[in-house]
Structure 1
Amino acid sequence: MGRPPGFDRREVLAAVEREFRKSGYDGTTLDDISAATGLGRGSLYAAFGDKHALFLAALGDYCDQDEASDAAALEGPDETAMERLRAYLIDSVDRQLNDPEQLACMASRFTVELAGRDQEATARLRHGFDAQRAALAGCLRAAQRNGDLDPAAEPVTLATLLVVGFRGISSLIGIGLDRAELVAVIDAILAGLPRPPGPRVHQAATQEPYSQV
């Protein structure tokens, strides 16, 4: 069976992604996916393949969009690097809080569920992690150039710490922490980043020290 009229791959993958995020890989059936997408099993098989292929397609599409969004949100001038970083972390929390079902990000969920037992999913999740960490490290380097962070600190290590911290914060949404508590945790994480010793100096010109907003 071919694709039904009006088939929109992106919309179908978004519905598939939500179904997997709600019930997990093992807890999601093809009947669940069929009901969520409005496509019969035959159409799903013809368009994507089996359940595992559907999952990988949805995971890949989700990660592709996330990677592009992360890069756009974190790139910018050195002078506003810390503000961008804080806004990025808060926006990530807000997106989960504002989701009708408060679903955790797909990468976080399936890193726990599938990493190590599904080689293809693990490889895609690792690629997504590396991309997110690289975008964060780039923003941290900008903050170092601006004199907001210790130039001796390793940005990739700090970026990894931020990913771990954010994924932990994301899990707290599921147990009911409110936005004010979550933002306070984000601010505490950012306040714990290593500041430069002595007077704050950056490459372009001296500015007032970064203050937490």
Structure 2
Amino acid sequence: MLRAARDHFWEAGYEGTSTYDLMHVMGLGKGSIYKAFGNKHDLYMRVFSGYCEDLVSQTEQALAASTTSPVRRLEEYLISLAHLFGSETPRRGCFLTSATTDLAAKDEAVAVQARRTFDGIAAALASTVRDAQAAEEIDPEADATELGYLLVSVIRGIDCMARAGVAESVLTSAVRTAIRMLPAAG
């Protein structure tokens, strides 16, 4: 039920989702939804927060799972996202991006959750940057945290470009260019 609600919010947006839509996709009556999940905003925050927690965890796992060099792990992870975003039909991109662009400017709870998620993803990327610094692939004087946020920006950018129909090959090329621009060691 929560996945169905999340997917509807993701496709139609918060404003484009009515209580009747939620009743239909969740297979529950209005009273049951309110009793179990609170109001529409409470339900939205529940599914958005769950998605965000999963996203941070998936990022951490993906970066830790590879046995290749740290820079290669970063590149493989970002290319996997370029592939995911570039091959989607319909092009819905990432729920985090959707929620942030739709609601963060006017809904503080969404903004706080989005910032927390960006921080978590940036921390996972920064940890891999630190691994690359230890492996003498990235300049040890570079600020790993700043590079983590730079890579978050690359991810959000390829998500937005993919939604506009930019070819997957262009997204992959942008990722490879971003990785080459990381400050090399010595």
Q: Same fold (TM over 0.5)?
A: yes
Whether 2:119 is the aligned partner of 1:148: answer no
Percentage of matched positions with identical amino acids: 31
Q: Does 1:169 align with 2:185?
A: no
Cα deviation, residue 38, structure 1: 2.1
Q: Does 1:63 align with 2:48?
A: no
Taking only aligned residues, the RMSD between alpha carbons, in angstroms, comes to 1.7
Q: For residue 118 of structure 1, what is the aligned residue in structure 2?
A: 107
TM-score normalised by the chain length of structure 2: 0.92
Structure 1 residue ranges without an equivalent (≥5): 1-11, 198-213
CA contact (8 A) 2:83 2:172 kept: no
Give 5+ residue unaligned stretches, structure 2.
Answer: none
| Contact kept in structure 1, 2:86 and 2:166, CA below 8 Å | no
CA contact (8 A) 1:77 1:142 kept: no
What per-residue deviation string (whole Å, max 9, x for no partner) do you get for residues 121-156 of structure 1?
Answer: 211111111110100000000011101111111011
The answer (yes or no) to whether the contact 2:85–2:158 under 8 Å persists in 1 is no
Q: Separation in 1 of the partners of 2:68 and 2:168? A: 27
Within the candidate set 30, 35, 45, 2:34 is matched to: 45
Residue 200 of structure 1 is matched in structure 2 by none
Corresponding residue for 1:157?
146
Q: CA deviation at 1:48?
A: 0.6
- SS state at 2:142 partner: coil
The reply on whether 1:75 has 2:64 as its aligned counterpart is yes
Equivalent in the alignment of 2:82: 93
- Report the CA distance between 1:85 and its aligned residue: 0.8
Give 3-state SS (helix, strand or coil) of 1:52's partner.
helix
TM-score under structure 1 length normalisation: 0.81
Q: Distance in 2 between matches of 1:100 and 1:15?
A: 18
- Taking the aligned partners of 2:88 and 2:4, their CA distance within structure 1 comes to 14
User: What is the CA distance between 1:102 and its match in structure 2?
Assistant: 2.2
Q: In the aligned structure 2, how far is the partner of 1:23 from the partner of 1:111? A: 14
CA distance in 1, matches of 2:65, 2:88: 28
Contact 2:86 2:171 survives alignment (8 Å): no
Distance apart, 1:94 and its partner CA: 2.6
What is the rounded CA distance, in whole Å, between the counterparts of 1:144 and 1:76 in structure 2? 18
CA distance in 1, matches of 2:24, 2:89: 19
Aligned length: 186
Give the conservation status (yes or no) of the 8 Å contact 2:70–2:132.
yes
- Which stretch has the larger CA shift, 78-87 or 38-47? 78-87
**Offset of 1:158 from its aligned partner?**
0.8
* TM-superposed deviation, 1:172: 0.9
The answer to whether the 8 A contact 1:74-1:84 is kept is yes
Q: Distance in 2 between matches of 1:94 and 1:15?
A: 24
Which has the higher relative contact order, 1 or 2, with Cα contacts under 8 A spaced 6 or more apart? 2
> What is the CA–CA distance in structure 1 between the aligned matches of 2:17 and 2:99, rounded to whole Å?
13
